[in-house]
Amino acid sequence: GVPVAPAYASAAAPTVGEAIRALRARGHRHVAVASCFTAPGRFATQCAAQAPWITSAPLGTHPSMAHLLLHRYDEAVKTGSDLRFRAMATP
């Protein structure tokens, strides 16, 4: 398998730089950063700048994003639930 280390752009740890350094300390020479940002901007640019090897572009307007958002909306309407709270409660 390929090791994965979550990282955060702000307000949480580890930062992208910290996660990259931790992976490199464990012997992983080629570290890629997979962006979960939906649009280009300051955070996406800062995180990409810390990637020593390769980074993905922000998710952008890919049709899968629209399908995911519509699915989540449909589920919330169907169940009458507030998905914000369920997502926030997930560890």
HEC secondary structure over the chain: CCCCCCCECCCCCCEHHHHHHHHHHCCCCCCEECCCCCCCCHHHHHHHHHCCCEECCCCCCCHHHHHHHHHHHHHHHHHCCCHHHHHHHCC
Strand-pair partners of 8: 15
The count of other CB atoms within 10 Å of the CB of residue 76 is 14
| 37 and 69 together in one domain | no
Same domain flag for 3 and 42 = yes
28 and 71 belong to one structural domain: no
Asked if residue 67 and residue 56 are part of one domain, the reply reads: no
Number of domains in the chain: 2
Do 75 and 43 share a structural domain? no
Do 54 and 65 fall within a single domain?
Answer: no
- Per-residue confidence band for 89, with pLDDT thresholds at 50, 70 and 90: low
The pLDDT value recorded for residue 77 is 85
Could you tell me if 4 and 31 lie in one domain? yes
pLDDT score for 42: 93
Residue 26, domain extent: 1-60
Does 86 have pLDDT greater than 80?
A: no
What are the pLDDT digits (tens) for 2-58? 899 999 998 899 999 999 999 999 999 888 999 888 889 999 999 999 887 888 988
Same domain for 70 and 90: yes
